[in-house]
């Protein structure tokens, strides 16, 4: 909320805002300003020459604005904040049955009360100039390379296009080369093991162990335009239309996108980068939550929403266009996501201990700076704000999904900074459901 400025004063209804000094500036307060404001009261009176009221000729009582009832769960929001701690990043949790946002947390934040009656120059300068960008709502405005979180969606596309079968296996030496090109595109596992994930890798292993070589090969065979066409139905590259302000759309690159944006042709090596969620590709945490909702529901999804009810009127969930795929293909992709957590070599296997429910998830690590071909990423030698971002996306329980969670650990070094946060959020929600 904040004071009405000159520009706003020229656009609002002067009658309905008589005597009103403030209105919604961002977020729900801005999005639902008309519903929250209500109607101003008025009366026509008869007065004498001294201004004394003799009688009221006509009176219209003011009407309170509507109250908003949100999907947000206060306890889950608290758990998200406590679990993320001092880590810059974001947590999004939603109910895949209707798209209702259960938790939406961006860290660091700020006290919005500072803006109500006009923030001081000093206070605003501290917020504006902070390297931690507290004014950025990372959940809907933060745009980051999604990294390997797109691999389940890309794997589904490969199955649907008959480019691979669930048991199709490819050699994995730990690196990949384009035909006729000697440059090696490395798999992240190479610097850890000095080799690939296995002699050969199929789809399930490629998802569970996040094999880059498998997806380099799949991306090359698909081509960038087929990748863009396959990922668009999941909502990448477009605003989710969540009921907030200032949402960003991310980037889903294609040959036409690059030609329009940069006036340049698309190069084959760029396709490989997009195949592992890098390069020009960008997504917001809420976009990824929407995409994971599609997988959790095996094709159906809803527009993410914060407001459940306006006054006494329930806001109906808004369905999104369904993503059609063979049931066996959904099952194959979800099986790989389950192994991310529940297989001993899954990339998030460390959070499986003590689980009383099943999780289907995907880890992701996205580079902030480029690493030369023969150089080695050494986190200790890299400035903190240049370190990799960590992602974890998941839904649970697998057979009857009740929650989707996306965690971004900005410059957290990798997904190991994200998936413990998601586990605590999911535990809190599942424990709450068992108490009902």
pLDDT value of position 328? 98
Paired residues of 180 in beta bridges: none
pLDDT value of position 435? 64
Closest to 340 measured CA to CA, from 301, 393, 279: 393
- Dist CA 34 CA 401 (whole Å): 35
pLDDT in tens, 111-132: 999 999 989 999 999 999 999 9
Is residue 148 part of the annotated active site? The answer reads yes
- Per-domain residue ranges of the chain: 2-39+52-66, 73-108+141-240+262-304+318-435
pLDDT value of position 55? 84
pLDDT value of position 20? 87
Contacts of 179 (CB under 8 A, 6+ apart): none
**Token representation of residue 200:** 């050969």
- Dist CA 68 CA 110 (whole Å): 22
pLDDT value of position 289? 98
Contact by Cβ (8 Å): 59, 303: no
CATH number for the domain running over 73-108+141-240+262-304+318-435: 3.40.710.10
Strands ordered across the beta sheet of 389-396? 100-107, 89-95, 403-409, 389-396, 360-366
- Dist CA 155 CA 165 (whole Å): 10
b/e string for 74-93 if b means 16 or more Cβ within 10 A?
A: eebbebbeebbeebbbbbbb
Phi, psi of 319 (to 5 degrees): -70, 145
Q: Using CB atoms within 10 Å of the CB of residue 420, give its burial: 0 to 12 exposed, 13 to 18 middle, 19+ buried.
A: middle
pLDDT in tens, 236-255: 999 999 999 999 999 999 99
How does pLDDT run along the chain (436 residues), one tens digit per residue? 999 998 999 899 888 888 888 999 999 999 999 999 988 877 788 888 888 888 888 888 888 899 999 999 999 999 999 999 999 999 999 999 999 999 999 999 999 999 999 899 999 999 999 999 999 999 999 999 999 999 999 999 999 999 999 999 999 999 999 999 999 999 999 988 899 999 999 999 999 999 999 999 999 999 999 999 999 999 999 999 999 999 999 999 999 999 999 999 999 999 999 999 999 999 999 999 999 999 999 999 999 999 999 999 999 999 999 999 999 999 999 999 999 999 999 999 999 999 999 999 999 999 886 655 555 556 666 778 888 999 999 999 999 999 999 999 999 999 999 999 999 999 999 998 766 5
- What letter does residue 312 receive in the DSSP assignment? T
CA 203 to chain centre: 24
Contact by Cβ (8 Å): 350, 363: no
Look at residue 391 and give its three-state secondary structure: strand
User: 10, 42, 120, 148: which one is catalytic?
Assistant: 148
pLDDT value of position 377? 54
């Amino acid at each position: 909320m904040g004071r009405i400025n000159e520009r706003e004063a020229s656009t609002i209804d002067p009658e309905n805002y008589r005597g009103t000094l403030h209105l919604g500036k961002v977020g729900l307060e801005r999005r639902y300003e008309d519903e929250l404001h209500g109607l101003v009261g008025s009366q026509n009176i008869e007065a004498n020459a001294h201004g004394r009221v003799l009688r009221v000729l006509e009176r219209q009582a003011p009407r309170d604005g509507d109250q908003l009832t949100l999907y947000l769960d206060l306890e889950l929001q608290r758990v998200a904040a406590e679990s993320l701690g001092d880590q810059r990043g974001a947590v999004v949790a939603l109910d895949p049955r209707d798209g209702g946002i259960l938790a939406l947390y961006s860290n660091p934040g700020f006290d919005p009360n500072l803006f109500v009656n006009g923030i001081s120059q000093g206070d605003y300068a501290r917020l504006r100039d902070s390297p931690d960008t507290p004014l950025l709502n990372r959940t809907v405005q933060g745009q980051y390379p999604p990294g390997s979180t797109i691999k389940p969606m890309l794997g589904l596309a490969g199955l649907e296009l008959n480019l691979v079968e669930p048991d199709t296996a490819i050699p994995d030496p730990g690196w990949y080369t384009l035909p006729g090109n000697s440059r090696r595109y490395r798999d992240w596992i190479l610097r850890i093991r000095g080799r690939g994930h296995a002699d050969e890798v199929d789809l399930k292993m490629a998802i569970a162990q996040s094999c880059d070589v498998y997806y380099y090969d799949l991306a090359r065979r698909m081509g960038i335009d087929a990748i863009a066409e396959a990922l668009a139905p999941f909502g990448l590259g477009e605003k989710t239309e969540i009921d907030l302000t200032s949402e960003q759309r991310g980037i889903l690159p294609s040959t036409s996108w690059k030609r329009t944006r940069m006036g340049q042709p698309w190069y084959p090596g760029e396709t490989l980068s997009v195949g592992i969620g890098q390069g020009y590709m960008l997504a917001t945490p809420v976009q990824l939550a929407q995409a994971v909702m599609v997988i959790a529901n095996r094709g159906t999804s809803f527009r993410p929403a914060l407001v459940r009810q306006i006054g006494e009127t329930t806001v109906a969930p808004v369905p999104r266009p369904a993503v059609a795929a063979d049931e066996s293909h959904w099952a194959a992709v979800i099986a790989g996501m389950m192994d991310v957590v529940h297989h001993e070599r899954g990339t998030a296997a460390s959070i499986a201990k003590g689980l009383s429910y099943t999780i289907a998830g995907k880890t992701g690590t996205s580079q902030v700076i480029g690493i030369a071909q023969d150089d080695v990423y050494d986190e200790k030698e890299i400035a903190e704000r240049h370190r990799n971002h960590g992602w974890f996306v998941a839904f649970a329980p697998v057979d009857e999904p009740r929650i989707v969670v996306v965690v971004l650990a900005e410059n957290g070094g990798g997904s190991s900074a994200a998936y413990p946060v998601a586990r605590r959020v999911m535990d809190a929600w599942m424990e709450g459901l068992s108490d009902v």
